Amino acid sequence: MTTIVFAGGGTGGHIFPGLAVADELRKDPDTRILWIGSSRGLDRSLVEGHGIEFRGIPSGKLRRYFSLQNIADLFRIVAGFFAAYGILRKERPSLLFSKGGFVSVPPCFAAKFLKIPVVTHECDVTPGLATRLNSRVAQAIFVSFDETIGYLGPDQKKKAFVTGNPVRSGFYNASPRKGRAFLGLPEDSLPILFVQGGSLGAKQVNDLIAQCLDRLCSRFVVVHQTGAAHFEELSRSMEGAGRMNYKPFPFIKDEMADVLAASSLVVARSGANTVWECAALGKPMILIPLEGSGTRGDQVDNARFFVQRGAAVMLTGADATAENLASAAERIGASEILRSDMGCNALSLSGAPPASVIARSLREIINPSGGGAR
């Protein structure tokens, strides 16, 4: 039995792509997957809900700026290292695969200390601090975008490979018919505009949608994943408004792929997970990336990549207004040719299923007799 440990978490953007790779590896009955993630947050429920063993460790955030929280988090990071060391020493996996996030750093360094091969994957155009640290001890670095390699150091570039971003297999087999059935919509209803506020919600996106909802509902059925924290407030504000074409949900889980497949246009943030899922299904996008001091600008870079390739429209800064959002949606919605072109451009970026490519490469690193990215 071959044991492969996955490390990462903190957000679904780090976990869901890893689960896609884990599913590919689990097709081999002699492969066992164990996941090391944060002992706090949603990591455990998402991973165990997918039928994968989970071990929680203390997790601290790595900040590039001064904060008193850095002191407490430093102790959590050290505790996380020793907890990961104990797990890895007991399990003796053949390889550790990091999907990023701050919780992945202690297991990567513990694996290096135990001479366990480490592979790390970066979802975004610009590598985050966790990836920059993990890449120092990694045998191979997988990236989603060609441009990412340019941000790596000379030694890291030599072991970097472009694989794309793993997307769960359900997105490749998604059914528009099932998506419409879940939403209770007949085949001859208005086109679906799917607003992805993320699992936690995105207040800026939600506010913009609320401001132009009447215009959007005149042309689309607006399916809105609001995030659990924003659902009740938005639902109350829309009560009695007579907006029959508005369908809010706090979170769409198992039906996400089918709903996305049924959609004609997507409005979303531009986290790597979101944009690559849309690309896998060939969906045109209006992207409103997260900006400001709380982010390193990775979502803007992700969005720009898809805009430059004709697959998306981006609204940032002063341009991120309800008027511009409604106008962009109306323009794309009115042109079947434009929607088709944008969708084809998105689909062309998806390429071969990255989860399969990565799984094959991990097997090759464990057993060099096979094929892989190397």
> pLDDT digits over 196-217, tens only?
976 555 889 999 999 999 999 9
pLDDT at 172: 93
| Element (DSSP H or E) covering residue 257 | helix 256-262
Percent of the chain, pLDDT > 90?
78
| Element (DSSP H or E) covering residue 97 | strand 95-98
| Domain spans of the chain, in order of start | 2-167+353-366, 170-350
- Exposure pattern of 333-348 as b/e (b: 16+ CB <10 Å)? beeeeebeebbebbbe
pLDDT at 113: 97
Provide the pLDDT confidence category of residue 374 given band limits of 50, 70 and 90: very low
β strands within 101-211, DSSP E: 118-122, 140-143, 160-162, 192-196
| DSSP sequence for 198-238 | -SS--HHHHHHHHHTHHHHHTTSEEEEE--HHHHHHHHHHH
pTM of the model: 0.88
Q: Please indicate whether the domains covering 2-167+353-366 and 170-350 agree at the CATH topology level.
A: yes
Q: What's the DSSP call for residue 307?
A: H
pLDDT digits (tens, 9 = 90+) for 23-45: 999 999 999 999 999 988 889 99
- Of the two residues 58 and 235, the one the predictor is more confident about is 58
| Element (DSSP H or E) covering residue 247 | strand 246-249
CATH assignment, 170-350? 3.40.50.2000
Indicate the SS3 state at residue 175. Answer: coil
pLDDT at 237: 67
pLDDT at 63: 60
Cα 172 off chain centre by: 16
pLDDT digits (tens, 9 = 90+) for 274-289: 999 999 999 999 999 9
Provide the pLDDT confidence category of residue 371 given band limits of 50, 70 and 90: very low
CATH assignment, 2-167+353-366? 3.40.50.2000
